[in-house]
Amino acid sequence: MWPLSRPLCGSDLWPYRGIEPVQGLAPMGHEYVGIVEEVGSAVSTIRPGQFVIGSFFASDNTCEICQAGYQSSCIHRELMGSIGTQAELARVPLADGTLVATPDLPPADLIPGFLAASDVLGTGWFGAVAAEVGPGKTVAVVGDGAVGLLAMLAARHLGAERIIAMSRHASRQKLALEFGATDLVEERGDEGVARIKALTSGLGAHSVIEAVGTQESMMQAIRSTRPGGHVGYVGVAHDVELPGEELFFSHVHLHGGPAPVRRFLPQLVDLIWNREINPGKVFDLTLPLDDVAEGYRAMDERRAIKALLWP
C-alpha cells in the first residue's frame, strides 16, 4: 500500500521524550491511509486502486475476539507501529480484516478526516462508547490532545447533553467548543474534580473519558465520575497504579485499553464520506515527510495539536 499521507501521533511523544526506551533505529508511525498498490494471493475483498484506511493493529476481523468487537486484541493481531507507516510504502497484514475501503477515491479535503479515523477519532470514539456516553448524559473529558478533542466530537454525535472539556490551552478550547463541548474547566487534579462536582450538583459526571494516561489524569477521571458512572480510558497508561480501596468504594465502572478502532471504522468512514463529521480539523500543521522531526518538535512543545505529513 502506498501511504499518501500520515499523521504524527501523541503516543509517539512518549519515546520522543525518552520516557519509553528506544533500542537503536526503530520504524515510526501506526496511522495511515493510502491507495492499494498490490495485494497478496490470499486477499479477496481488497483490490489494487482502492483508497483504504486501517488502524494501528492489523486484525483478521473473524476470530471470536474480533467478532465481539475487540479487534485490537485479535488472536492474530500485528502492531502496525512495528511495520512503520511513516514510509513511502507499507505492507499491511491481514488486509481483508484490517482495511476498510472508501466507496470511491475521496476528494483531497476529506483525506485528513480519514487519517483521523485511523487512530485518534477511532480511539476517542471508543473512549466515549466505553464511558457509556448517551442521550441525556453529562460527559467530562480529561485531556485536550487530538484524542480528547475527538472524544468530544464522538460524545456530541452519541447524544450527550453536556460535554465538559478539561483544557487550559486557548487553541484547544476553541476546537473543543467547535466539536461540541458545552463547558470548559481549566483546573486539574483535585481542583479539577471539585469543578466537575460543582457543575454536576455535587454528583460527578455520568461518563468520563480519560485521554492522557498519567496517574494524575486517571485519578482525576475516576474521581470526577459519579457512583454508577463509567470511565472510558484510552490514554496509554504510563506508571498508573490504582488504589484498590478507593476504587472499591467509588462504584465507578472502568473500561478502556487500546481502542478496537476497526469496530468503528465502517461507521466512521460513512460519517466522514457523507460530511456529517469533520475530524480532520485536529490537524493544525502540515509538513512534507522530510520535515518529520519538526512535526514532533511542534507537538512536543504544544505548538501543534497534530501534524500531518503530506505527501
Contact 308, 111 (CB under 8 A): no
Q: How far is CA 124 from CA 69, 148, 218, in A?
A: 16, 6, 16
155 lines the binding site for Zn ion (CB under 5 A): no
Backbone angles phi, psi at 155, to 5 degrees: -60, -40
CB nearer Zn ion, residue 75 or residue 89? 75
What is the H or E stretch that residue 207 is in? strand 205-210
Q: In the range 30-59, which residues lie near Zn ion by CB under 5 A? A: 59
Minimal distance in Å, beta carbon 263 to Zn ion?
Answer: 11
45: Cα within 13 Å, side-chain hemisphere: 12
CB nearer Zn ion, residue 65 or residue 153? 65
CB nearer Zn ion, residue 59 or residue 207? 59
Residue keyed to cell 498490490: 38
Minimal distance in Å, beta carbon 77 to Zn ion?
Answer: 7
140 lines the binding site for Zn ion (CB under 5 A): no
Residue count at the site for Zn ion (CB under 5 A)? 5
Exposed, middle or buried: residue 195 (CB in 10 Å: 0-12, 13-18, 19+)? buried
CB nearer Zn ion, residue 76 or residue 253? 76
Which one of 68-76, 121-129, 152-160, 196-204 is the stretch in contact with Zn ion (CB under 5 A)? Answer: 68-76
Chosen residue from 9, 36, 52, 66 binding Zn ion by CB under 5 A:
66
Backbone angles phi, psi at 64, to 5 degrees: -60, -35
Q: Strand ranges (DSSP E) for 168-210?
A: 183-185, 205-210
151 lines the binding site for Zn ion (CB under 5 A): no
Minimal distance in Å, beta carbon 61 to Zn ion?
Answer: 6
261 lines the binding site for Zn ion (CB under 5 A): no
Supply 166's cell numbers.
478539561
Residue keyed to cell 473529558: 141
CB nearer Zn ion, residue 74 or residue 111? 74
Supply 247's cell numbers.
476504587
Q: In the range 72-111, which residues lie near Zn ion by CB under 5 A? A: 74
Q: What is the largest CA-CA distance in the chain?
A: 60
CB nearer Zn ion, residue 96 or residue 183? 96
63 lines the binding site for Zn ion (CB under 5 A): yes
Q: Footprint of Zn ion on this chain (CB under 5 A)?
A: 59-60, 63, 66, 74
